Amino acid sequence: MVIRLHRNNFTGEIPKSLWKMSKLQILNVAYNNLRGTIPHFQRELNAMVKGSEKHYNGSGDVIQVMKGVDLVYTRTWDMVFNTDLSSNKLIGEIPVGLSALFMLSGLNLSNNHLSGNIPNNIGNMMRLESLGRDDPSKHGIFDFFEPSESVTQQLNLINDPSIYSGNRDICGTRLPKNCSDRQDPTTIAPKRKHKTVEESIKVWWLYLDIMCGFTTGFWGVIGVLLSKKHWRHKLFMFSEETMDKIYVAVMV
């Protein structure tokens, strides 16, 4: 079974019912406006998981993009298993169950908004030849996989980390963003709350300084005048003489 719906204007989320098609071999929904997360892959995708011969019942020609090159499959297309979700607006992490699709030879998740770690057991996908390549001038994405190796060792086989292009929040070995630098979302909120409390305290200290300054200045002058009768008399005389001089200057 082949589903090719690329380069349309489809919106919304990827239907979960797609993952229940046991004979699905090729799924291409690239270059749409699909949003939401990638649904968790189910075991119902028997063709992509087991590749049993009972699913090889196709006929006709199929064009697939593998390693950035358009390949035409005529008699052997029924042996091709490909999933292309690129150039959409998908978010969230790559589902761990994706690595259970052992028969996949092509997987393209580029140009989305995916985040988080690359699943550790993605190295178990022995048949995977192409992973997220949109640039036809570059090849050799994966030469081979060792099923017992960790994802860190598997990623050492990647010649160009741009195969994850368009997913700026993806982190891992040889990628610009290190997973150890990721902020835990559970720790971000308390930090923001703590910052808000600190700003509130600073505002209260500012008000307190203003009140203390006004009190000191006001009572520093008024208190002296109340306690010193001679100074008070001098101040009033000075004020009266000044007003007289101003009046005379204006009238003359």
Q: Are residues 111 and 231 in the same domain?
A: no
Boundary residue ending a domain (157, 182, 207): 182
pLDDT of 251 reads 86
The two tokens of residue 26 are: 């090729």
pLDDT of 32 reads 94
Return d(Cα 141, Cα 160) in angstroms, integer.
7
Q: Are residues 129 and 224 in the same domain?
A: no
Residues 26, 62 contacting (CB under 8 angstroms): yes
Mean pLDDT to the nearest integer, 27-55? 79
Decide if pLDDT at 43 tops 60.
yes
> What ranges in 132-228 are assigned the alpha helix state H?
151-155, 185-227
Q: Are residues 48 and 153 in the same domain?
A: yes
Q: Are residues 72 and 162 in the same domain?
A: yes
Boundary residue ending a domain (148, 182, 216): 182
Boundary residue ending a domain (182, 200, 216): 182
Q: Are residues 156 and 70 in the same domain?
A: yes
Mean pLDDT to the nearest integer, 75-80? 63
Q: Are residues 47 and 143 in the same domain?
A: yes
Q: Are residues 127 and 192 in the same domain?
A: no
Return d(Cα 95, Cα 117) in angstroms, integer.
10
- Nearest alpha-carbon partner for 97 in 121, 116, 129, 126: 121
- Higher-scoring residue by pLDDT: 1, 208: 208
Confidence label for 108 from pLDDT (cuts 50, 70 and 90):
confident
How many domains, the chain?
2
Return d(Cα 107, Cα 32) in angstroms, integer.
17
Mean pLDDT to the nearest integer, 54-67? 55
Q: Are residues 12 and 123 in the same domain?
A: yes
pLDDT of 200 reads 81
pLDDT of 135 reads 42
Q: Are residues 202 and 119 in the same domain?
A: no
pLDDT of 159 reads 46
Return d(Cα 1, Cα 251) in angstroms, integer.
106
- Nearest alpha-carbon partner for 118 in 106, 105, 109: 109
9: CB partners within 8 A, 6+ apart: 32, 33
Return d(Cα 177, Cα 171) in angstroms, integer.
5
* Enclosing domain of residue 27: 2-182
Mean pLDDT to the nearest integer, 222-230? 81
Decide if pLDDT at 203 tops 60.
yes
Q: Are residues 196 and 153 in the same domain?
A: no
Angle at the Cα of 168 from the Cα atoms of 32 and 173, rounded to 5 degrees: 125
pLDDT of 149 reads 46
Q: Are residues 110 and 71 in the same domain?
A: yes
Read off the CATH number of the domain in which 16 is found: 3.80.10
Residues 104, 130 contacting (CB under 8 angstroms): no
Return d(Cα 54, Cα 25) in angstroms, integer.
12
Mean pLDDT to the nearest integer, 211-236? 83
pLDDT of 31 reads 92
Decide if pLDDT at 54 tops 90.
no
Q: Are residues 135 and 226 in the same domain?
A: no
Residues 113, 169 contacting (CB under 8 angstroms): yes
Q: Give tens-digit pLDDT for 170-188.
A: 766 656 666 666 555 555 5
pLDDT of 187 reads 53
Q: Give tens-digit pLDDT for 121-173.
A: 777 787 777 666 444 343 333 333 333 344 444 444 444 555 566 676 776 66
- The whole model's pTM is what? 0.52
Handedness of CA 163, 168, 171, 175 (dihedral sign): positive
